[in-house]
Amino acid sequence: MQVDDMDLPVFDLSTIAKATSNFTIKNKIGEGGFGSVYRAFSKLRTRIDQIQERSKIVCKIQHRNLVKLLGCCLEGEEKMLVYEYMLNGSLDSFIFDEQRSGSLDWSKHFNIICGIAKGLLFLHQDSRLRIIHKDLKASNVLLDSELNPKISEFGTARIFGVDQQEGNTKRIVGTYGYMAPEYATDGLFSVKSDVFSFGVLLLEIILGKRSREYYNQNHNESHRPCK
């Protein structure tokens, strides 16, 4: 595969190294299933064909609630995608942090929820490609300087055909707790899978708790002995 096939601007490794102070740990802001995330770009541990598929998806979708891919770098063993910088980081760093969550009033909560829903609807219905994200969760939603949400991390996403209603895979990847039961157990995924994940995320935003926290709380309460 040629880099030109991805129709992306190409950045030199030296340029990216300079922008990240030679990949210093202080510029590392996260770790995903496909690699490390630094300020402005994602350093991948994956094959070239997977990068091509991921880039194909992100390049062909443009929406205010989806993170924008700016370019790539493929030099030797280094494989990187360069994204727009989201000043406020990931949603989970806000809603699960007692101090930062205090800066989110209910109007901002509502704006974030609506923005995620609009981005997801675009992927499923309004984009040139019908895309199933397959790993929607709080850490994969980024916030810009005005706390507008943008869905990111399309490493597990799949493109559906016009009339395709469901997909099936033996390689189940994603995050348990956000996975729809039919995907977690049988590898079946569809628009409904993303809607299930959105429902879990919605509860997390409203309650300010990770899904496993309120699941364990409810589970324990349901097993308390009656007096």
Report if residue 227 sits inside a domain.
Answer: no
Q: Which of 135, 163, 186, 194 is catalytic?
A: 135
Phi/psi of residue 37, each to 5°? -115, 120
Whether 26 and 137 share a structural domain: no
Q: What is the pLDDT of residue 173?
A: 87
Residue 69's nearest CA partner among 19, 139, 61 is 61
Whether 11 and 72 share a structural domain: yes
- How many Cβ atoms sit within 10 Å of the Cβ of residue 71? 18
pLDDT digits (tens), the chain, 227 positions: 344 555 678 888 888 888 777 777 766 666 655 566 666 555 545 555 555 666 667 777 889 999 988 888 877 777 778 888 888 989 999 999 988 998 899 999 999 999 999 999 999 999 888 999 999 999 999 999 999 999 988 878 898 988 899 999 998 988 889 999 999 999 999 999 999 999 999 999 999 999 875 544 444 444 444 44
Whether 73 and 153 share a structural domain: no
Q: What is the pLDDT of residue 10?
A: 82
The number of distinct structural domains making up the chain is 2
Binding-site annotation: residue ranges = 60
| Separation CA 57–CA 60 (nearest Å) | 6
**Which of 83, 116, 135 marks a domain boundary?**
83
| Separation CA 130–CA 191 (nearest Å) | 9
Range of the domain at 211: 92-221
Whether 159 and 125 share a structural domain: yes
**135 is annotated as an active-site residue:** yes
**Which of 59, 83, 107 marks a domain boundary?**
83
Report if residue 34 sits inside a domain.
Answer: yes
CATH code for the domain in which residue 171 is found: 1.10.510.10
